[in-house]
Structure 1
Amino acid sequence: MKYYLLVISLTCMLSLNSFAQQAPPNPIPNPPVNMEMLVDDRGLSYQAIINKKFQSVPRLGVFSVMNFQTDWKSSQMNDYMIQGNLTFNLIKGLDISSGFIWVPFQGIRPSAGIMYTYANREWLLVANPRVDLHKKTNGEILALVEYKPQLNEKLKLYTRAQALYTQNLPDDYHARSYVMLRAGVTFKDVTFGVGGNLDYYGPQKMRDHNIGGFVNFNLF
Protein backbone atom coordinates (compact mmCIF):
# COMPACT_ATOMS: atom_id res chain seq x y z
CA MET A 1 0.00 0.00 0.00
CA LYS A 2 2.83 2.44 0.78
CA TYR A 3 4.13 2.08 -2.77
CA TYR A 4 0.73 3.01 -4.20
CA LEU A 5 0.61 6.10 -1.95
CA LEU A 6 4.12 7.08 -3.03
CA VAL A 7 3.20 6.86 -6.73
CA ILE A 8 -0.07 8.77 -6.26
CA SER A 9 1.61 11.50 -4.17
CA LEU A 10 4.41 11.98 -6.69
CA THR A 11 1.95 12.18 -9.57
CA CYS A 12 -0.26 14.72 -7.78
CA MET A 13 2.71 16.95 -6.90
CA LEU A 14 3.94 16.97 -10.49
CA SER A 15 0.43 17.60 -11.80
CA LEU A 16 -0.18 20.57 -9.51
CA ASN A 17 3.15 22.10 -10.44
CA SER A 18 2.36 21.68 -14.13
CA PHE A 19 -1.16 23.11 -13.94
CA ALA A 20 0.26 26.21 -12.32
CA GLN A 21 2.09 26.99 -15.56
CA GLN A 22 0.47 29.06 -18.28
CA ALA A 23 -0.95 27.06 -21.21
CA PRO A 24 1.01 27.47 -24.45
CA PRO A 25 -0.60 29.54 -27.24
CA ASN A 26 -0.02 26.88 -29.92
CA PRO A 27 -1.25 23.25 -29.92
CA ILE A 28 1.28 20.69 -28.72
CA PRO A 29 2.24 18.23 -31.50
CA ASN A 30 1.48 14.67 -30.46
CA PRO A 31 2.58 11.38 -32.05
CA PRO A 32 -0.32 9.25 -33.34
CA VAL A 33 -1.79 6.25 -31.58
CA ASN A 34 0.02 3.27 -33.12
CA MET A 35 -1.67 -0.11 -33.61
CA GLU A 36 -0.05 -3.19 -35.16
CA MET A 37 -1.04 -6.77 -35.94
CA LEU A 38 1.27 -9.61 -36.99
CA VAL A 39 -0.32 -12.80 -38.37
CA ASP A 40 1.67 -16.02 -38.66
CA ASP A 41 1.32 -19.78 -38.41
CA ARG A 42 1.41 -19.58 -34.59
CA GLY A 43 -1.33 -17.04 -34.06
CA LEU A 44 -1.96 -13.29 -33.89
CA SER A 45 0.29 -10.72 -32.24
CA TYR A 46 -1.16 -7.32 -31.38
CA GLN A 47 0.44 -4.14 -30.01
CA ALA A 48 -0.95 -0.67 -29.30
CA ILE A 49 1.14 2.29 -28.13
CA ILE A 50 -0.18 5.64 -26.89
CA ASN A 51 2.23 8.47 -26.10
CA LYS A 52 0.41 11.76 -25.72
CA LYS A 53 0.93 15.12 -24.03
CA PHE A 54 -1.87 17.21 -22.55
CA GLN A 55 -2.54 20.28 -24.70
CA SER A 56 -3.12 22.51 -21.66
CA VAL A 57 -0.21 21.04 -19.62
CA PRO A 58 2.51 20.13 -22.12
CA ARG A 59 4.94 18.72 -19.56
CA LEU A 60 2.37 16.15 -18.41
CA GLY A 61 1.32 13.20 -20.56
CA VAL A 62 0.19 9.61 -20.84
CA PHE A 63 2.22 6.61 -22.01
CA SER A 64 0.46 3.28 -22.47
CA VAL A 65 1.44 -0.03 -24.08
CA MET A 66 -0.72 -3.08 -24.63
CA ASN A 67 0.36 -6.26 -26.39
CA PHE A 68 -0.77 -9.85 -26.53
CA GLN A 69 0.02 -13.07 -28.36
CA THR A 70 -2.70 -15.59 -29.27
CA ASP A 71 -2.30 -19.20 -30.34
CA TRP A 72 -4.50 -20.67 -33.07
CA LYS A 73 -4.46 -24.01 -31.20
CA SER A 74 -5.69 -22.67 -27.86
CA SER A 75 -8.69 -20.63 -26.70
CA GLN A 76 -6.72 -19.28 -23.72
CA MET A 77 -4.46 -16.23 -23.85
CA ASN A 78 -1.59 -16.43 -21.37
CA ASP A 79 0.82 -13.98 -23.01
CA TYR A 80 -0.31 -10.38 -22.58
CA MET A 81 0.80 -7.14 -20.99
CA ILE A 82 -0.95 -3.84 -20.27
CA GLN A 83 0.69 -0.80 -18.75
CA GLY A 84 -0.47 2.76 -18.21
CA ASN A 85 1.60 5.68 -16.94
CA LEU A 86 1.48 9.37 -16.31
CA THR A 87 4.64 11.04 -17.61
CA PHE A 88 6.36 14.25 -16.64
CA ASN A 89 8.91 15.90 -18.90
CA LEU A 90 12.17 16.91 -17.19
CA ILE A 91 14.11 18.12 -20.22
CA LYS A 92 13.64 17.68 -23.95
CA GLY A 93 13.52 13.97 -24.72
CA LEU A 94 13.60 12.79 -21.08
CA ASP A 95 10.49 11.93 -19.02
CA ILE A 96 9.83 10.24 -15.70
CA SER A 97 6.76 8.02 -15.37
CA SER A 98 4.60 6.34 -12.76
CA GLY A 99 1.59 4.07 -13.13
CA PHE A 100 0.83 0.35 -13.31
CA ILE A 101 1.61 -2.81 -15.23
CA TRP A 102 -0.59 -5.90 -15.58
CA VAL A 103 0.85 -9.25 -16.70
CA PRO A 104 -0.37 -12.88 -16.40
CA PHE A 105 -0.21 -14.60 -13.00
CA GLN A 106 1.03 -11.44 -11.25
CA GLY A 107 -1.94 -9.08 -11.37
CA ILE A 108 -1.61 -5.31 -11.28
CA ARG A 109 1.56 -3.79 -9.85
CA PRO A 110 2.56 -0.15 -9.35
CA SER A 111 5.46 0.86 -11.54
CA ALA A 112 7.90 3.73 -12.06
CA GLY A 113 10.53 4.47 -14.68
CA ILE A 114 12.17 6.91 -17.06
CA MET A 115 11.80 7.28 -20.81
CA TYR A 116 14.22 8.76 -23.34
CA THR A 117 12.94 9.64 -26.83
CA TYR A 118 14.74 10.99 -29.89
CA ALA A 119 12.83 11.57 -33.13
CA ASN A 120 13.26 13.21 -36.51
CA ARG A 121 11.83 12.52 -39.99
CA GLU A 122 13.87 9.35 -40.49
CA TRP A 123 14.74 8.05 -37.03
CA LEU A 124 12.91 7.19 -33.83
CA LEU A 125 14.75 5.95 -30.74
CA VAL A 126 13.05 5.06 -27.46
CA ALA A 127 14.55 3.64 -24.25
CA ASN A 128 12.25 2.93 -21.31
CA PRO A 129 13.72 1.28 -18.19
CA ARG A 130 11.21 0.73 -15.38
CA VAL A 131 10.81 -1.18 -12.12
CA ASP A 132 7.87 -2.67 -10.19
CA LEU A 133 7.19 -1.02 -6.84
CA HIS A 134 6.52 -4.38 -5.22
CA LYS A 135 8.30 -6.83 -2.93
CA LYS A 136 8.56 -9.32 -5.83
CA THR A 137 10.20 -6.74 -8.04
CA ASN A 138 10.76 -7.05 -11.76
CA GLY A 139 13.22 -4.75 -13.48
CA GLU A 140 12.66 -4.17 -17.17
CA ILE A 141 14.01 -2.25 -20.14
CA LEU A 142 12.23 -1.64 -23.44
CA ALA A 143 14.21 -0.32 -26.41
CA LEU A 144 12.94 0.58 -29.87
CA VAL A 145 14.65 1.87 -33.02
CA GLU A 146 12.86 2.82 -36.26
CA TYR A 147 14.43 3.90 -39.55
CA LYS A 148 11.96 5.22 -42.14
CA PRO A 149 13.54 7.15 -45.04
CA GLN A 150 11.48 8.52 -47.92
CA LEU A 151 11.53 6.29 -51.04
CA ASN A 152 9.47 8.53 -53.32
CA GLU A 153 6.62 11.04 -53.10
CA LYS A 154 4.17 8.45 -51.74
CA LEU A 155 6.17 5.67 -50.09
CA LYS A 156 8.57 5.36 -47.18
CA LEU A 157 10.78 2.44 -46.22
CA TYR A 158 9.91 1.17 -42.74
CA THR A 159 12.27 -0.84 -40.53
CA ARG A 160 12.04 -1.47 -36.79
CA ALA A 161 13.91 -3.36 -34.10
CA GLN A 162 12.17 -3.58 -30.72
CA ALA A 163 13.49 -5.47 -27.70
CA LEU A 164 12.33 -6.15 -24.15
CA TYR A 165 14.20 -7.75 -21.27
CA THR A 166 12.58 -8.45 -17.87
CA GLN A 167 14.55 -9.71 -14.86
CA ASN A 168 13.17 -10.88 -11.52
CA LEU A 169 15.43 -8.90 -9.19
CA PRO A 170 14.94 -10.61 -5.78
CA ASP A 171 15.54 -14.10 -7.15
CA ASP A 172 17.84 -13.00 -10.00
CA TYR A 173 16.37 -14.86 -12.96
CA HIS A 174 15.19 -14.10 -16.48
CA ALA A 175 11.40 -13.66 -16.55
CA ARG A 176 10.55 -12.58 -20.10
CA SER A 177 12.22 -11.14 -23.16
CA TYR A 178 11.59 -10.67 -26.85
CA VAL A 179 12.97 -9.19 -30.05
CA MET A 180 10.56 -7.86 -32.70
CA LEU A 181 11.85 -7.17 -36.21
CA ARG A 182 9.83 -5.44 -38.96
CA ALA A 183 10.54 -4.44 -42.58
CA GLY A 184 8.04 -2.97 -45.00
CA VAL A 185 6.73 0.19 -46.67
CA THR A 186 4.53 3.03 -45.47
CA PHE A 187 1.75 4.63 -47.52
CA LYS A 188 0.15 7.58 -45.73
CA ASP A 189 -0.90 6.21 -42.31
CA VAL A 190 -0.64 2.50 -43.13
CA THR A 191 2.51 0.35 -43.00
CA PHE A 192 2.72 -3.29 -44.10
CA GLY A 193 5.41 -5.88 -44.69
CA VAL A 194 7.07 -8.90 -43.09
CA GLY A 195 8.03 -9.34 -39.46
CA GLY A 196 9.37 -11.77 -36.93
CA ASN A 197 8.98 -12.23 -33.17
CA LEU A 198 11.63 -13.99 -31.09
CA ASP A 199 10.09 -14.73 -27.69
CA TYR A 200 11.80 -16.13 -24.57
CA TYR A 201 10.02 -17.23 -21.40
CA GLY A 202 11.09 -18.05 -17.85
CA PRO A 203 14.45 -18.90 -16.25
CA GLN A 204 15.12 -21.55 -18.91
CA LYS A 205 14.51 -18.97 -21.68
CA MET A 206 12.12 -21.25 -23.55
CA ARG A 207 11.98 -20.10 -27.15
CA ASP A 208 9.02 -19.45 -29.42
CA HIS A 209 9.96 -17.86 -32.74
CA ASN A 210 7.61 -16.99 -35.56
CA ILE A 211 7.57 -15.07 -38.87
CA GLY A 212 4.58 -13.59 -40.67
CA GLY A 213 3.03 -10.54 -42.27
CA PHE A 214 2.19 -7.35 -40.38
CA VAL A 215 0.06 -4.26 -40.83
CA ASN A 216 0.54 -1.09 -38.79
CA PHE A 217 -1.89 1.86 -38.45
CA ASN A 218 -1.38 5.41 -37.19
CA LEU A 219 -4.55 6.82 -35.63
CA PHE A 220 -4.56 10.49 -34.63
Structure 2
Amino acid sequence: MNYLNKFLLGISIISLSCLAKAQEESSTPISNPPISMEAFVGNRNFSYQMIINKKLQSLPKFGFFGVTHLQPEWEKPKIDDYMVQGNLTYSVIKGIDLSSGFIMNPIDGIRPSAGIIFSIANEKILAVLNPRIDLTKNANFETIGLLEFKPKLTEKLRLYTRLQGVYKHNIGFDHHSRSYIMLRAGISFKELTFGAATNFDWYGPMRINKNNYGGFVSVNLF
Protein backbone atom coordinates (compact mmCIF):
# COMPACT_ATOMS: atom_id res chain seq x y z
CA MET A 1 0.00 0.00 0.00
CA ASN A 2 1.60 3.32 -1.05
CA TYR A 3 1.65 6.51 1.02
CA LEU A 4 -1.43 7.98 -0.70
CA ASN A 5 -3.54 4.92 0.06
CA LYS A 6 -2.28 4.92 3.66
CA PHE A 7 -3.22 8.58 4.02
CA LEU A 8 -6.74 8.10 2.67
CA LEU A 9 -7.24 4.95 4.72
CA GLY A 10 -6.16 6.94 7.75
CA ILE A 11 -8.89 9.49 7.02
CA SER A 12 -11.47 6.70 7.09
CA ILE A 13 -10.12 5.31 10.39
CA ILE A 14 -10.15 8.75 12.00
CA SER A 15 -13.76 9.26 10.90
CA LEU A 16 -14.87 5.98 12.42
CA SER A 17 -12.90 6.61 15.61
CA CYS A 18 -15.03 9.69 16.20
CA LEU A 19 -18.09 7.44 16.60
CA ALA A 20 -17.61 7.03 20.37
CA LYS A 21 -17.47 10.78 20.87
CA ALA A 22 -20.48 11.38 18.64
CA GLN A 23 -22.52 8.86 20.61
CA GLU A 24 -22.02 10.96 23.74
CA GLU A 25 -23.30 14.13 22.10
CA SER A 26 -27.01 14.88 22.24
CA SER A 27 -28.59 16.14 19.05
CA THR A 28 -31.90 17.46 17.85
CA PRO A 29 -33.68 15.85 14.88
CA ILE A 30 -32.20 17.04 11.61
CA SER A 31 -33.82 17.76 8.26
CA ASN A 32 -32.40 15.40 5.64
CA PRO A 33 -32.17 16.31 1.94
CA PRO A 34 -34.62 14.41 -0.29
CA ILE A 35 -33.72 11.39 -2.40
CA SER A 36 -33.40 12.68 -5.97
CA MET A 37 -34.41 10.41 -8.87
CA GLU A 38 -34.18 11.43 -12.53
CA ALA A 39 -35.14 9.74 -15.80
CA PHE A 40 -33.81 11.11 -19.10
CA VAL A 41 -35.08 9.91 -22.49
CA GLY A 42 -32.85 10.87 -25.41
CA ASN A 43 -31.96 10.05 -28.99
CA ARG A 44 -29.09 7.69 -28.00
CA ASN A 45 -30.15 6.12 -24.74
CA PHE A 46 -32.21 6.13 -21.59
CA SER A 47 -30.47 7.57 -18.53
CA TYR A 48 -31.37 7.10 -14.87
CA GLN A 49 -29.74 8.75 -11.88
CA MET A 50 -30.49 8.51 -8.16
CA ILE A 51 -28.68 10.51 -5.48
CA ILE A 52 -29.01 9.81 -1.75
CA ASN A 53 -27.44 12.05 0.88
CA LYS A 54 -28.77 11.31 4.36
CA LYS A 55 -27.61 11.89 7.94
CA LEU A 56 -28.34 9.58 10.87
CA GLN A 57 -30.91 11.16 13.17
CA SER A 58 -29.25 9.76 16.31
CA LEU A 59 -25.68 10.53 15.12
CA PRO A 60 -26.02 13.53 12.79
CA LYS A 61 -22.28 13.79 12.10
CA PHE A 62 -22.50 10.41 10.34
CA GLY A 63 -24.44 9.66 7.19
CA PHE A 64 -24.64 7.91 3.83
CA PHE A 65 -23.95 9.29 0.35
CA GLY A 66 -24.83 7.17 -2.66
CA VAL A 67 -25.09 7.67 -6.42
CA THR A 68 -26.54 5.28 -9.00
CA HIS A 69 -26.17 6.18 -12.68
CA LEU A 70 -27.32 3.93 -15.54
CA GLN A 71 -27.18 4.59 -19.31
CA PRO A 72 -28.56 1.65 -21.34
CA GLU A 73 -28.49 2.26 -25.09
CA TRP A 74 -31.66 1.65 -27.07
CA GLU A 75 -30.29 -1.04 -29.40
CA LYS A 76 -28.19 -2.93 -26.84
CA PRO A 77 -29.70 -5.50 -24.43
CA LYS A 78 -26.68 -5.22 -22.08
CA ILE A 79 -25.91 -2.12 -19.98
CA ASP A 80 -22.32 -1.12 -20.78
CA ASP A 81 -22.36 2.24 -19.01
CA TYR A 82 -23.21 2.36 -15.32
CA MET A 83 -21.77 3.58 -12.04
CA VAL A 84 -22.82 2.77 -8.48
CA GLN A 85 -21.17 4.17 -5.38
CA GLY A 86 -22.00 4.05 -1.69
CA ASN A 87 -20.15 5.89 1.08
CA LEU A 88 -20.29 6.37 4.80
CA THR A 89 -19.76 10.05 5.57
CA TYR A 90 -18.50 12.02 8.54
CA SER A 91 -19.21 15.75 8.86
CA VAL A 92 -16.05 17.64 9.79
CA ILE A 93 -17.75 21.05 9.74
CA LYS A 94 -20.85 22.33 7.98
CA GLY A 95 -20.33 21.85 4.25
CA ILE A 96 -17.31 19.51 4.49
CA ASP A 97 -17.68 15.73 4.84
CA LEU A 98 -15.17 12.88 4.66
CA SER A 99 -16.37 9.83 2.73
CA SER A 100 -15.29 6.20 2.54
CA GLY A 101 -16.96 3.31 0.73
CA PHE A 102 -17.02 1.65 -2.69
CA ILE A 103 -17.49 2.46 -6.36
CA MET A 104 -18.48 0.02 -9.11
CA ASN A 105 -18.48 0.28 -12.91
CA PRO A 106 -18.19 -2.16 -15.85
CA ILE A 107 -14.52 -1.35 -16.54
CA ASP A 108 -12.95 -1.54 -13.07
CA GLY A 109 -15.46 -3.72 -11.22
CA ILE A 110 -15.89 -2.83 -7.56
CA ARG A 111 -13.19 -0.89 -5.71
CA PRO A 112 -12.79 0.69 -2.26
CA SER A 113 -12.85 4.47 -2.39
CA ALA A 114 -12.31 7.54 -0.19
CA GLY A 115 -12.83 11.23 -0.71
CA ILE A 116 -14.07 14.61 0.50
CA ILE A 117 -17.47 16.21 -0.16
CA PHE A 118 -17.77 20.00 -0.22
CA SER A 119 -21.32 21.37 -0.39
CA ILE A 120 -23.34 24.58 -0.20
CA ALA A 121 -27.14 24.42 -0.13
CA ASN A 122 -29.95 26.93 0.23
CA GLU A 123 -33.35 27.62 -1.31
CA LYS A 124 -31.90 28.86 -4.62
CA ILE A 125 -28.51 27.17 -4.99
CA LEU A 126 -27.01 23.72 -4.54
CA ALA A 127 -23.28 23.29 -5.14
CA VAL A 128 -21.37 20.04 -4.60
CA LEU A 129 -17.72 19.16 -5.27
CA ASN A 130 -16.57 15.59 -4.56
CA PRO A 131 -12.95 14.59 -5.32
CA ARG A 132 -12.27 10.94 -4.55
CA ILE A 133 -9.71 8.20 -5.25
CA ASP A 134 -9.72 4.41 -5.53
CA LEU A 135 -7.84 2.67 -2.73
CA THR A 136 -6.30 0.12 -5.13
CA LYS A 137 -3.43 -0.38 -7.53
CA ASN A 138 -3.79 1.64 -10.76
CA ALA A 139 -6.23 3.91 -8.94
CA ASN A 140 -8.60 6.33 -10.60
CA PHE A 141 -8.74 9.90 -9.32
CA GLU A 142 -12.17 11.37 -9.98
CA THR A 143 -13.86 14.69 -9.33
CA ILE A 144 -17.62 15.20 -9.48
CA GLY A 145 -19.08 18.70 -9.60
CA LEU A 146 -22.74 19.72 -9.47
CA LEU A 147 -24.36 23.17 -9.55
CA GLU A 148 -28.11 23.80 -9.40
CA PHE A 149 -29.82 27.20 -9.64
CA LYS A 150 -33.51 27.25 -8.65
CA PRO A 151 -34.96 30.77 -8.44
CA LYS A 152 -38.65 31.22 -7.66
CA LEU A 153 -40.87 32.23 -10.61
CA THR A 154 -44.25 32.21 -8.86
CA GLU A 155 -45.60 30.94 -5.55
CA LYS A 156 -45.80 27.42 -7.02
CA LEU A 157 -43.18 27.34 -9.80
CA ARG A 158 -39.40 27.54 -9.89
CA LEU A 159 -36.90 27.72 -12.72
CA TYR A 160 -34.57 24.71 -12.59
CA THR A 161 -31.09 24.64 -14.12
CA ARG A 162 -28.26 22.19 -13.49
CA LEU A 163 -24.68 21.76 -14.60
CA GLN A 164 -23.09 18.46 -13.59
CA GLY A 165 -19.70 17.12 -14.61
CA VAL A 166 -17.19 14.34 -13.94
CA TYR A 167 -13.55 13.91 -14.84
CA LYS A 168 -11.84 10.60 -14.04
CA HIS A 169 -8.11 10.02 -14.61
CA ASN A 170 -6.31 6.71 -14.17
CA ILE A 171 -3.19 7.48 -12.13
CA GLY A 172 -1.49 4.13 -12.71
CA PHE A 173 -1.64 4.32 -16.51
CA ASP A 174 -1.74 8.14 -16.64
CA HIS A 175 -4.66 8.51 -19.05
CA HIS A 176 -8.20 9.82 -19.27
CA SER A 177 -10.71 7.19 -18.17
CA ARG A 178 -14.17 8.76 -18.21
CA SER A 179 -15.77 12.18 -18.23
CA TYR A 180 -19.12 13.77 -18.89
CA ILE A 181 -21.07 17.02 -18.80
CA MET A 182 -24.81 17.07 -18.06
CA LEU A 183 -27.01 20.10 -18.74
CA ARG A 184 -30.60 20.48 -17.51
CA ALA A 185 -33.13 23.31 -17.88
CA GLY A 186 -36.76 23.11 -16.84
CA ILE A 187 -39.55 23.97 -14.42
CA SER A 188 -40.12 22.67 -10.88
CA PHE A 189 -43.57 22.24 -9.35
CA LYS A 190 -43.38 21.07 -5.75
CA GLU A 191 -41.41 17.76 -5.81
CA LEU A 192 -41.61 17.34 -9.62
CA THR A 193 -39.22 18.81 -12.19
CA PHE A 194 -39.23 18.40 -15.98
CA GLY A 195 -37.56 19.98 -19.00
CA ALA A 196 -34.83 19.69 -21.64
CA ALA A 197 -31.66 17.65 -21.13
CA THR A 198 -28.29 17.04 -22.78
CA ASN A 199 -25.47 14.65 -21.88
CA PHE A 200 -21.97 14.86 -23.37
CA ASP A 201 -19.93 11.70 -22.65
CA TRP A 202 -16.26 10.85 -23.26
CA TYR A 203 -14.81 7.35 -22.83
CA GLY A 204 -11.31 5.89 -22.49
CA PRO A 205 -7.81 7.14 -23.35
CA MET A 206 -8.97 8.20 -26.83
CA ARG A 207 -11.83 10.27 -25.34
CA ILE A 208 -14.45 8.73 -27.62
CA ASN A 209 -17.41 11.12 -27.63
CA LYS A 210 -21.10 10.13 -27.51
CA ASN A 211 -23.89 12.64 -26.92
CA ASN A 212 -27.54 12.37 -25.94
CA TYR A 213 -30.32 14.94 -26.39
CA GLY A 214 -33.87 14.80 -25.09
CA GLY A 215 -36.06 15.51 -22.07
CA PHE A 216 -36.02 14.64 -18.39
CA VAL A 217 -38.35 14.17 -15.44
CA SER A 218 -37.13 14.13 -11.85
CA VAL A 219 -38.77 13.75 -8.47
CA ASN A 220 -37.62 14.46 -4.92
CA LEU A 221 -38.70 11.93 -2.29
CA PHE A 222 -38.72 13.26 1.27
2:16 to 12, 21, 28: 12
Q: Does 1:197 align with 2:199?
A: yes
One-letter amino acid matched to 1:184:
G
Deviation at 1:10, TM superposition (A): 4.4
Distance, in Å, in 2 between the alignment partners of 1:20 and 1:113 is 26
Residue-by-residue CA offset, 1:50-88 (whole Å, 9 max, x unaligned): 000111111111000000101110101010000000110
- Aligned residue for 2:160? 158
One-letter amino acid matched to 1:136:
N
Distance, in Å, in 2 between the alignment partners of 1:201 and 1:11 is 34
- Aligned residue for 1:48? 50
2:186 to 184, 187, 197: 184
Aligned length: 217
Per the alignment, in what secondary structure is the counterpart of residue 20 of structure 2? helix
Distance, in Å, in 2 between the alignment partners of 1:122 and 1:163 is 20
Deviation at 1:105, TM superposition (A): 2.8
Unaligned runs of 5+ in 2: none
CA contact (8 A) 1:11 1:86 kept: no
CA contact (8 A) 2:15 2:98 kept: no
Of residues 29-38 and 103-112 in structure 1, the stretch that sits farther from structure 2 once superposed is 103-112
Deviation at 1:170, TM superposition (A): 1.4
- For normalisation by structure 2, the TM-score amounts to 0.93
- Aligned residue for 1:84? 86
Residue-by-residue CA offset, 1:109-133 (whole Å, 9 max, x unaligned): 1100000000111111000000000
2:74 to 72, 80, 100: 72
CA contact (8 A) 2:183 2:198 kept: yes
Deviation at 1:189, TM superposition (A): 0.2
Distance, in Å, in 1 between the alignment partners of 2:180 and 2:31 is 31
Distance, in Å, in 2 between the alignment partners of 1:210 and 1:74 is 15
Per the alignment, in what secondary structure is the counterpart of residue 19 of structure 1? helix
Deviation at 1:14, TM superposition (A): 3.0
- For normalisation by structure 1, the TM-score amounts to 0.94
Matches within 5 A, 1:128-147: 128-147=130-149
- Runs (4+) of structure 1 exceeding 6 A deviation are 1-4
Per the alignment, in what secondary structure is the counterpart of residue 57 of structure 2? coil
- Aligned residue for 1:108? 110
Per the alignment, in what secondary structure is the counterpart of residue 48 of structure 1? strand
One-letter amino acid matched to 2:57:
Q
Percent of pairs with identical residues: 50
One-letter amino acid matched to 1:100:
F
Unaligned runs of 5+ in 1: none
One-letter amino acid matched to 2:78:
Q
Residue-by-residue CA offset, 1:150-198 (whole Å, 9 max, x unaligned): 0001100000000000000111100000000000000010000000000
Distance, in Å, in 1 between the alignment partners of 2:78 and 2:200 is 20
